[in-house]
């Protein structure tokens, strides 16, 4: 096994953390490089990173995660840095967490708990708060015994089954189960309300923004719709799904939905809790999958997005891959591996607007592929349909004739059916009849 550690101790902060994790044998990255994403998460949770340590091995030790020698080294680094917490890049079992805490003498936070803390900090709406609390309680359930170990020492003599700690565990477990059931009922109520909201929306083509956290989804949402969504250079700055109308070049309106960002090793409790939130967006007609094109880990981030979409059952939805932050890409040749993954990917800079016309073209091209192009005659008696056509279809041409408005449009089969039922009918264009509009 090869060991690697680095230490850079900031001064004067009460919540300094040592980061640690495992990397595969032969991985050439330094500790800081291997734990870069964990460092971003740690800073998002308002800790200060005092040092990083990794151990190169094939599998985690089932008892203590790190090997005994590396665990002793971690304890020494904690003492030298006067650190008050250590943070692991993986999810730990209750026994692993207990063993590490006993060795280093300070609290241990694993990746799942850290992400749960961040989600808790950023939850704003009642639904997001309930979802985070549910995930946190589900995470807490198997770890109750570790919290009450000190009480179990108060057990009686021979023949006495259990003690204060064991009884308190039962009480806490029942309290957690009761609260989990109550939150599930409340989330079901909120979800029923959201389903009614979605059903009441105008029947417009829907585009969902999905992708790795901090890829620029909220910034793109703001640029296209003036939505006013919080967009910060921090992980998980927004947790709630937001839907806004977006007027495409040419005048047609679609619905654009922003979603919570995905992340490598996302706790399964959070994926389950936020499934309802994501499910609304992932019933979209098209996904814009955003990735930070300037990141050296862009390919891995795309794989993570694919894995989460597969977990949600949305891997088969049509998509356009958007390589954002083009302004930070020093050499566009660096994007070649991403184009090899998806030759139709579109490179943009949401910040500067570079490449946005290519993105619009890709979206309009997709609409042309999936919708029908037809020529309709809109009689004067059905003139009220004109506004719906302009809002929900792409108008390619229109001429006014004695019989009404002759239009060439591109629309979904469902919309065409409603238009025909409302009085429109298919017609052949008659050149020379009427003037262009």
437 residues of the chain, pLDDT tens digit each: 444 544 444 444 458 999 999 998 888 888 888 898 899 899 988 899 999 999 999 899 999 999 999 999 999 999 999 999 999 999 999 999 999 999 999 999 999 999 888 888 877 778 888 888 998 898 888 877 655 443 343 333 333 334 444 577 788 888 899 999 999 999 888 878 877 776 666 678 999 999 888 888 888 998 998 755 555 555 555 556 788 889 888 778 899 988 877 888 877 777 766 666 666 666 789 999 999 999 988 998 899 888 888 877 788 899 999 999 999 998 999 999 999 999 999 999 999 999 999 999 999 999 999 999 999 999 988 888 988 898 889 999 998 988 899 999 998 888 888 899 889 988 765 555 444 44
Q: What pLDDT was estimated at residue 125?
A: 78
CA 128 to chain centre: 13
Q: What pLDDT was estimated at residue 187?
A: 87
Distances (CA, A) of 126 to 27, 76, 183, 186: 43, 43, 11, 10
Residues forming beta bridges with residue 49, ordered by sequence position: 17
Give pTM, 2 decimals.
Answer: 0.75
Identify the CA nearest to 61 among candidates 26, 11, 103, 33. Answer: 103
Contact 107, 85 (CB under 8 A): yes
The Cα–Cα gap between 259 and 306 comes to: 15
Helix (H, G, I), strand (E, B) or coil at 401: strand
User: Left, alpha or beta for 424 (phi > 0: left; psi -120 to 50: alpha)?
Assistant: beta
Determine how β-strand 16-23 pairs with β-strand 2-7: unpaired
The Cα–Cα gap between 297 and 304 comes to: 11
**Order of strands, edge to edge, in the sheet holding 85-88?**
2-7, 48-56, 16-23, 85-88, 108-109
- What separation, in Å, do the N-terminal and C-terminal C-alpha atoms of the chain show? 75
Q: What pLDDT was estimated at residue 390?
A: 87
Q: What is the DSSP letter of 93?
A: P
Q: What pLDDT was estimated at residue 66?
A: 95
Q: CB atoms < 10 A from the CB of 106, how many?
A: 18
The Cα–Cα gap between 370 and 251 comes to: 19
Q: What pLDDT was estimated at residue 55?
A: 93
> Structure tokens of 70?
């590396």
Q: What pLDDT was estimated at residue 367?
A: 93
Q: What pLDDT was estimated at residue 227?
A: 59
Residues 28, 32, 38, 41: what is their CA dihedral angle, to the nearest 10 degrees? Answer: -150
**What size, in residues, is the chain?**
437
Contact 405, 377 (CB under 8 A): yes
């Amino acid at each position: 096994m090869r060991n690697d550690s680095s230490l850079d101790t900031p001064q004067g902060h009460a919540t300094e953390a040592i980061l640690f994790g495992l990397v595969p044998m032969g991985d050439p990255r330094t500790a800081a490089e291997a734990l870069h994403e964990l460092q971003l998460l740690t800073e998002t949770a308002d800790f200060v990173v005092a040092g990083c340590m990794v151990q190169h091995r094939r599998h985690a030790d089932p008892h203590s995660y790190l090997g005994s020698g590396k665990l002793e080294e971690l304890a020494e680094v904690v003492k030298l840095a006067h650190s008050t917490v250590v943070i692991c890049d993986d999810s730990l079992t209750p026994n692993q967490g207990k063993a590490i805490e006993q060795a280093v003498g300070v609290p241990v936070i694993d990746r799942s708990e850290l992400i749960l803390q961040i989600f808790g900090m950023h939850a704003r709406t009642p639904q997001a708060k309930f979802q985070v609390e549910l995930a946190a309680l589900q995470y807490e359930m198997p770890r109750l015994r570790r919290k009450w170990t000190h009480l179990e020492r108060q057990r009686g003599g021979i023949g006495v089954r259990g003690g204060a700690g064991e009884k308190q565990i039962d009480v806490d477990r029942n309290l957690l189960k009761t609260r989990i059931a109550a939150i599930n009922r409340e989330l079901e109520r909120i979800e029923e309300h959201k389903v009614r909201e979605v059903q009441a929306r105008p029947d417009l083509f829907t585009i969902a923004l999905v992708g790795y956290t901090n890829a620029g989804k909220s910034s793109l949402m703001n640029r296209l719709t003036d939505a006013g969504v919080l967009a910060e250079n921090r992980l998980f700055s927004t947790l709630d799904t937001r839907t806004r109308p977006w007027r495409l070049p040419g005048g047609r309106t679609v619905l654009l939905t922003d979603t919570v960002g995905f992340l490598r090793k996302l706790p399964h409790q959070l994926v389950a809790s936020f499934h309802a939130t994501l499910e609304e967006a992932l019933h979209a007609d098209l996904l814009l999958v955003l990735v930070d094109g300037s990141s050296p880990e862009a390919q891995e981030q795309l794989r993570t997005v694919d894995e989460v979409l597969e977990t949600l059952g949305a891997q088969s939805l049509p998509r356009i891959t958007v390589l954002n932050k083009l302004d930070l890409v020093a050499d566009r040749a660096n994007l070649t591996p991403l184009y090899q993954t998806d030759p139709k990917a579109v490179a943009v800079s949401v910040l500067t607007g570079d490449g946005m016309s290519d993105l619009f073209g890709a979206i309009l091209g997709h609409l042309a592929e999936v919708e029908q192009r037809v020529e309709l005659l809109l009689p004067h008696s059905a003139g009220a349909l004109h506004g719906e056509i302009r809002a929900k279809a792409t108008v390619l041409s229109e001429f006014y004739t004695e019989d009404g408005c002759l239009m060439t449009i591109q629309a979904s089969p469902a919309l065409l059916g409603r238009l025909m039922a409302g009085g429109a009918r298919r017609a052949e264009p008659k050149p020379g009849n009427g003037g262009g509009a």
